[in-house]
Structure 1
């Protein structure tokens, strides 16, 4: 438990000082799935607190069609215990994945995620 607090503090210091995230912070692997087409795709997302477009990360995977990303759910499949990943798209989407909640439906079937973002960080950053 003490190591986790020290790790979170160190990450916070690195993030606030503009230095690179230490190499021991592994990326989170997130799977987007499209229940309608039966496709899914895993992408490694850096755990650095940077907000990234879903299009940029999944735009060339099996859940994309003509460059647009369509998914019905997300699951975090590889991560550190302190990792938190959030999917946002204005007021229409706010999904958080972490060690306690590793799966989330986007609700209402398949969604166009062309304007959505994901950000992964360690708790405490």
Structure 2
């Protein structure tokens, strides 16, 4: 009887942990950052897995970076699925999101230093 309970518990844990990960068919979203002053743009594939990632880590080696710091005025989702939602956040007030209906966002008034910003992409409902 106890073996049955342990087996059920293990199967339950495996099933619930599988629900936390995105399905294998969920493809990464591609986000394009643009710097309106320099004209630089850079596309980066961001996993759609609900993990918060530093913008510096993803775009720090691209055309929108200057000496390793990322500067951008806007973002656009260029590759996505209908259920994709991506959010940019920062402690100092940046809080914007994009989805299939709103694929473009401005960071508000010129070029913004995104060195302390994060991005997270997930499927709606995750």
After TM superposition, where is structure 1 displaced by more than 6 Å over at least 4 residues in a row? none
Contact 1:26 1:47 in 2 (8 A): yes
Alpha-carbon deviation of 1:92?
Answer: 1.6
Matching residue of 2:71: 70
Could you tell me which residue of structure 2 aligns to residue 50 of structure 1?
51
C-alpha separation between the residues in 2 aligned to 1:15 and 1:43? 30
Q: What is the root-mean-square deviation in Å for CA atoms of aligned residues?
A: 1.9
Task: Please report how far the alpha carbon of residue 86 of structure 1 lies from its aligned counterpart in structure 2 after TM superposition.
Answer: 0.2
| TM-score normalised by length of structure 1 | 0.84
SS at match of 2:56: helix
User: How far apart are 1:91 and its partner, in Å?
Assistant: 4.2
Aligned residue number for residue 30 of structure 1 = 31
Shift, 1:26, TM fit? 0.1
Quote the Cα distance in structure 2 between the aligned partners of 1:38 and 1:28: 22
Q: Distance in 1 between matches of 2:47 and 2:82?
A: 15
- 8 Å Cα contact 1:14-1:20 kept in structure 2: no
State the alpha-carbon separation in 1 of the partners of residues 97 and 16 from structure 2: 21
Higher mean displacement: 35-44 or 19-28? 19-28
Q: Which blocks of at least 5 consecutive residues in structure 2 are unaligned?
A: 1-13
The alpha-carbon deviation at position 20 of structure 1 amounts to 4.4
3-state SS of the aligned residue for 2:76?
strand
> CA separation of 1:79/1:91 partners in 2, compared to 1, >3 Å: closer, same or farther?
same
